Structures are given as structure tokens and as C-alpha cells.
Amino acid sequence: MKIKRLVYICMLLLVILPFVLITDMFPFLRFGMFAEPVKKDQPAELFYVLYYADRQWKKFDPEQYELQDETFQYLARNYYYRQEGQVLLSRLHRSDVARGEHWRFYRVSFPPGFPEFRDTLLISSL
Amino acid sequence: MINRRLSFFIGFSAFLLIAPVICYVIWGEQLILKAYLGEEPDWLHKIIEILYPRFFAEKNRLELSFFLAKVNQLVLRYAIVLIAVCVCVSLYETSHNFRKRLSGFTEIKTSIHNVYILRILFFFILLVATRDVYQDLKALRHLSTFYSPVGILQLVHLPFPGQYASFLIYGILFLSSVLVIFGVRPVLFSVLAMGAFVIYQAYLYSFEKIDHGYAPFTYACMLFPFLLREREHAKKNDCIYFNSWSLQLILIITCLVYFLSGLEKILISGVGWLSPVTFKTYLLLHDTVIGKKVASVEFLVVLFPALALLLQLSFPLMLFFRGLKYLILPAGLLFHIGTVVLFGISSFENPWLFNYIFFFDWSGIGARLSFLPPYFRT
């Protein structure tokens, strides 16, 4: 009976706590996906990285290293908004994902549904 | 005695409510402004790093008003939960009727046969869902320079796993699940499987992106050892039927997760979330073929978000009206298929759906398995 009460109270509190604090507290998570309001003119964003190897520029393909593109996009987006493009590139350079001599980090933005109106911006280079 | 205890509890809760609210009113906005401008004191910086690490990325993309609204939300939610707890505790202490009803609500009648089938189904699903654990961890090693451990890993100072550690995590998860399926020390091995499953996710989410896909399944995984313990106890006492609190708690938590997802939308975006513009923008941002077609049909961009919200908020109704599961669970299935088709998110093998097995009674199937060899028998 005591265990039942203890587990009930702990589990309910731990499940509700991320909702109250509006943050994830792994393994207890906040379910805020799609909850944030969006602006009508909010652009769609894509990030990509180029690296220079074998005398040519190549596009870094995360899926080649069994990484979901979604995960890479999320990571790149965070680095972009923290204004840490250089850090992203130097970490990629230090990792074993690709042997590049030079690296470039780009952001592509376009109105949702109209990728033909894309605007490409060089964020950082290494 | 009860009255004195209750008065103390209410007084203490009032203090817990009033003190932080007063502090927030006096200093809150000023501190948020400082944090937004990057001039926050060290102690606040550390708190934000622990509780809301995304702030440092989001502050460059969102306006100050967004964060002020978020903290107002936090205070509001804190107050609502504290008041709700106070009301429940007061009713529990003073009303015999409430206590009796609550006690009845926290348990569900089940059978050893039902738990037997749930055990096989659940751990078989766990085996299938985590078949790529080793590959996932191996792949993430390429990005170990980006490793930013979640709180639980920081707490135990675990580094990113090497090849052997990755294999060990997968081995424990696989072997424990198989042993639970065959009924070998199920309580012990279900705890081990749960531990390995949580550690695997902790590593997976230590690259800044936390995925909610496994969340309800993980909660069920945490509670499953208690359900197996209850079953063992019932078997020892030669009872086929018993009242299970852990099974009911799994159902409550599953419904609560959907309900909180719906509530989050209302609290964060208000009725604006139901606006066709919001849904249409989400569809276009995710850029799938069917999503773009739906975005062009005015009727559907009004209907779909309303149905999604209604579904999420109505999940707890199944706890009071069991028959509603035949309506709500198929709707839930369609909802998850919809997120795959319209947004390209997750896959048809959505772990949120795995918890639906707990809403059905498998006693009939379990009782008919007595012809099987010992390890497969209930």
C-alpha cells in the first residue's frame, strides 16, 4: 500500500513537473511539439555544410554516417542561433565524419511552400 | 489531529504559492530582461543551463515578450498544480466518500492471464523497437565532439559509450527482454531492461535534440516491474483475478500524456492554435506532398487541428468510460498516421501506439494457452 502511494505520487509529479516548468527533464519530458504559435511570414530554414577535400567542394551528408538529417538540422539550427557557426565547423573538423581541409556553413531560407525563392547565406567558414 | 495536520499543510502550501509569486513580481521581469541581454548573474545562468538550455539559442531568434509570456505561464501552471494538489489532499483528509472513490479509481481489476500476454507483447515490442540500439550508438560516435550529456548522465558522470559499452547496453536490453518474455525472474530482468532502455535514450538525446517518441512507452517500462510483482503476488496466493494499481497507473499516465499535449497547445498558443493559418504554416514548413495538398483545402485546415485537439483532450475520458476506447484509440491511430503522412514526422512504427495494448483485456487469450510448453504457459 505504501509502495502504491509512493509510486503514484512520484510518477504523477514527475510526469507533471516538465509541464509546469515548460522544459524537458529526461526521462520525463514536456509534450510541447507543435504548441508554439507560428507567424504567417515565418521562413522555412535548411542548413548545410560544405567541405573541401580532394580538390573539390563536397556537401556533408549526415545520412552517410547513419545520422538522421533531422538531427543534424536541429543541431545546426541551434549553433546558428547561438551564433556559434565556427564552433560547429571546428567540431565537425575534429570529428571523424569527413576529412575536409576547409569548411563552410550555409543557411537557406525560403517562404514555406516556395523553395524556388530561396535565399542562401554563408554563415561561417573555417 | 487531522485538522491540525491539514491546516499546517494548507498554510505551508499557501507559503509555497505566495512567496515565489511575490519574488517573481518584484524581480522576475528584470532578471529575464538581463538574461535576454546576456547580462544575467552566474547563479541565474546556471539555473537556465540546467532547466532551459535552449534559451541561449532561442533568445537570438525570438522576442523578449515570448520569454516573459513563458515565465508567466510557468507561474500560472505552478499555481494551478499547487492549488489542485491542495484541493485533492483536503478532500482526501476530510471526505470518506472521496477517499473511497479515489482508492477505487487507482486500481483496475485484471487477471494473471492478461498480465502474462501483456508481458510477452510489451517486451517483444521493446525488442523490436530497440533492434537498432547498437547501430544508433555506433553512428553517434562519429559526432562525439557534439556530445552534450542530458542531466541524468551528467549526474553519474558517464562518458559517451565506446564500442564495448554500446554492445553491453544492447546486450542487457536484448537479453533481459528475452528472459522476461520467457518468464525467467521477470521482475528483476524487467528492471534491467528498463535501465538499459533509459540509458540508451539518454545517450541518443545527448546531442541537443530530445525526441518524445518513446516517452509514454518509457513510462510504461518504468511501471511494468510493479505489474509483474503484483502478478507474482497473485499467483502465490492462487488468485487468477486481482486489483492492479500499476496497470491503472500506466493507463492514467498514457492518457495524461495525451491530455498534457493538448493542454500545452491551448496554454501556449490559446485559441490561435486552432487557426487555419497556424496549421497551414506547419504543413508548408514540413513540405510533404499530401501535406501541401491538404494545405490548399480550406475545410481540412480548419477541421484537422480541431479534431487533433479534441482527441488529445478527450483521452482521459477512457479512464471513466471504458467503452470509449473503441472510438478514441482508432482515432489516436489515425492521428499518428496523420503526423507521418502530413508532416513526415516519426514513422508508422510509432512508439506512442505501443501503449494502446494496455487498454485491452487479453485474459481470454492468456487462459487458452495452457496447452503450450511450460515456459509459454501462464
Average pLDDT, chain B: 89
Query: If contacts are CB pairs under 8 Å, which of residues 236-255 in chain B contact chain A?
Result: 245-246, 249, 252-253
* Closest CA in chain A for residue B107: A4
Chain A interface, mutation test: which of B45, B138, B260, B319, most A Cβ atoms within 10 Å? B260
Question: Among A112, A117, A120, which Cα is nearest to A49's?
Answer: A120
Report how far residue B57's alpha carbon sits from residue A17's, in angstroms, rounded to the nearest whole number.
Answer: 23
Find the mean pLDDT for residues B142-160: 84
Give the closest-approach CA distance of A98 to chain B in angstroms: 10
Residue B334 reports pLDDT greater than 90:
yes
Residues B177 and B292 in one domain: yes
Residue B274: domain span: 108-376
Collect all residues with Cβ–Cβ distance below 8 Å to B193 and sequence separation of at least 6: B123, B126, B172, B173, B176, B177, B180, B221
**Domain identity same for B153 and B300:** yes
Confidence of residue B336 (pLDDT cuts 50, 70, 90): very high
- Sequence length of chain A is 126
The pLDDT confidence band at residue B373, using thresholds 50, 70 and 90, is: low
B198 and B335 belong to one structural domain? yes
Judged against a pLDDT cut of 80, whether residue B378 lies above it is answered with no
Q: What is the pLDDT of residue A38?
A: 74
CB contact under 8 A, B256 and A82: no
Give the separation between CA B135 and CA A80, rounded to whole angstroms.
Answer: 28
Q: What is the pLDDT of residues B288-310, one digit of tens each?
A: 899 989 999 989 999 999 999 99
**Does residue B369 share a domain with residue B358?**
yes
Mutation choice for A interface testing from B59, B210, B271 by most A CBs within 10 A: B210
Task: Among B70, B105, B140, identify where a domain stops.
Answer: B105
CB contacts < 8 A (A, B): 158
**Of the residues B89, B105, B121, which one is the last residue of a structural domain?**
B105
- Residue B1's pLDDT band (boundaries 50, 70, 90)? low
Question: Is the distance from CB of B121 to CB of B114 less than 8 angstroms?
Answer: no
* Same structural domain, B286 and B257: yes
d(CA B9, CA A5): 18
Asked if residue B338 has pLDDT above 80, the reply is yes
How many distinct structural domains can be found in chain B?
A: 2
- Cβ-count burial of B87 within 10 angstroms (0-12 exposed, 13-18 middle, 19+ buried)? exposed
The full DSSP string for B145-158 is GG----HHHHHTT-
pLDDT tens digit sequence for A84-104: 899 989 988 887 777 788 899
Option in A11, A82, A91 nearest B249 (CB) = A11
Residues of chain A with C-beta less than 8 angstroms from the C-beta of B219? 11, 15
Q: Do B145 and A94 touch (CB under 8 A)?
A: yes
Sign of the torsion formed by the C-alpha atoms of A13, B334, B123 and B194 = negative
Report the residue from B139, B208, B282 with minimal CB separation from A75.
B208
- pLDDT at position B119 over 90: yes
Q: Are residues B98 and B206 in the same domain?
A: no
pLDDT band at B376 (very low <50, low <70, confident <90, very high): low
Q: Are residues B220 and B328 in the same domain?
A: yes
**Residue B145 pLDDT class (50, 70, 90 cuts):** confident
pLDDT band with cut points at 50, 70 and 90 for residue B268: confident
CB pair distance less than 8 Å for B282 and A38:
yes
Residue B245 is predicted with a pLDDT of 96
Cis peptide before B374 (omega within 30 of 0): no
Q: How confident is the model over B15-34, as a mean pLDDT?
A: 88
Closest CA to B9 of B85, B74, B78, B81: B85
Q: Return phi, psi of residue A119, to 5°.
A: -125, 120
> Cell 484509440 maps to which residue?
B329
Residues 102-131 of chain B whose Cβ lies under 8 A from any Cβ of chain A? 106
Using pLDDT thresholds of 50, 70 and 90, give the confidence band for residue B377.
Answer: low
Q: Kindly state whether residues B78 and B210 are assigned to the same domain.
A: no
Mean pLDDT across B311-325: 95
Rg, C-alpha atoms of chain A: 20
Closest CA to B172 of B226, B134, B125: B134
pLDDT digits (tens, 9 = 90+) for B25-79: 888 888 999 999 988 899 999 888 888 888 888 888 788 888 888 888 898 899 9
Give pTM, 2 decimals.
Answer: 0.89
Q: Are residues B187 and B208 in the same domain?
A: yes
Helices B186-204 and B163-181 cross at an angle (nearest 10°) of 140
- Other Cβ atoms less than 10 A from the Cβ of A16: the count is 17
- B270 and B343, same domain (yes or no): yes
Low-confidence stretches of chain A (pLDDT beneath 70):
39-41
Query: Which pLDDT score, from 0 to 100, does residue B2 have?
Result: 64
Give yes or no: residues B112 and B99 share one domain.
Answer: no
The residue out of B105, B135, B159 marking a domain boundary is B105
Q: Tell me which chain B residues have a C-beta less than 8 angstroms from the C-beta of A115.
A: 287
pLDDT reported for residue B191: 97
pLDDT of residue B51: 81
- Asked if B273 is an interface residue toward chain A (Cβ–Cβ < 8 A), one would say yes
**Other C-beta atoms lying within 10 Å of the C-beta of residue A104:** 19
Q: What is the DSSP string of B179-225?
A: HHHTTSSHHHHHHHHHHHHHHHHHHHT-SS----TTHHHHHHHHHHH
- Does one domain contain both B20 and B69? yes
Predicted pLDDT at B351: 92
Burial class (CB in 10 A: 0-12, 13-18, 19+), B301: buried
Predicted confidence at residue B370, as pLDDT, reads: 64
